[in-house]
Amino acid sequence: MGIKPVITGSISLSDVRVPEDNIIGELNKGFYYSLEYYDKSRISIAAQAVGIAQGAFERALSYAKERKQFGRPIIQFQGISFKLADMATKIEAARLLTYKAAWLYDQGKVDPMATSMAKRTQAEPP
């Protein structure tokens, strides 16, 4: 949801020779370059997930205010209001972790733990 699926797969190359003029970056550092890319991309993924979660929360909140049961809006029932409060709390925590990871990136201090934590908060539904 929110992202068009990306086709992924494995590539295996054997006995491939690359002319020196075609080498990008430093020789034998490709794995480390990909790890650096993941550290940076986790921030974007986390930010997108926060936006999707915020949108879902706003729709749920609006529905809870409109939907009536037993003559009153369902938001007035503890079970619903507690779930909405939990959602809001998890979204805010995810947002702040994402902001921290992005701020560190902007400062030139990419922190794999911060980017991983920001993305990790998206793994569980709010």
Could you tell me the CATH number of the domain that includes residue 36?
1.20.140.10
How many structural domains are present in the chain? 1
> Does residue 13 form part of some domain?
no
pLDDT at 106 > cutoff 80? yes
Average pLDDT of the segment spanning 32-40? 84
> Does residue 18 form part of some domain?
no
Percentage of the residues of the chain whose pLDDT score is greater than 90:
54
| pLDDT the model gives residue 2 | 54
Q: What is the pTM of this model?
A: 0.75
Q: What are the two backbone dihedrals, phi and then psi, of residue 121, each rounded to the nearest 5 degrees?
A: -65, -15
pLDDT at 123 > cutoff 60? no
> Does residue 6 form part of some domain?
no
pLDDT digit string, tens, across residues 46-77:
999 899 999 999 999 999 999 999 999 999 99
Domain assignment of residue 112, given as a range = 28-120
> Does residue 19 form part of some domain?
no
Q: Report yes or no: 95 and 123 within 8 Å, Cβ to Cβ.
A: no
> Does residue 1 form part of some domain?
no
> Does residue 11 form part of some domain?
no
Six token digits for residue 117 = 């934590």
Rounded CA separation 109/102 (Å): 10
Q: Report yes or no: 121 and 43 within 8 Å, Cβ to Cβ.
A: no
Instruction: Dihedral sign for Cα 27, 30, 31, 32, please.
Output: positive
> Does residue 23 form part of some domain?
no
> What integer best gives the mean pLDDT of the chain?
88
> Does residue 20 form part of some domain?
no
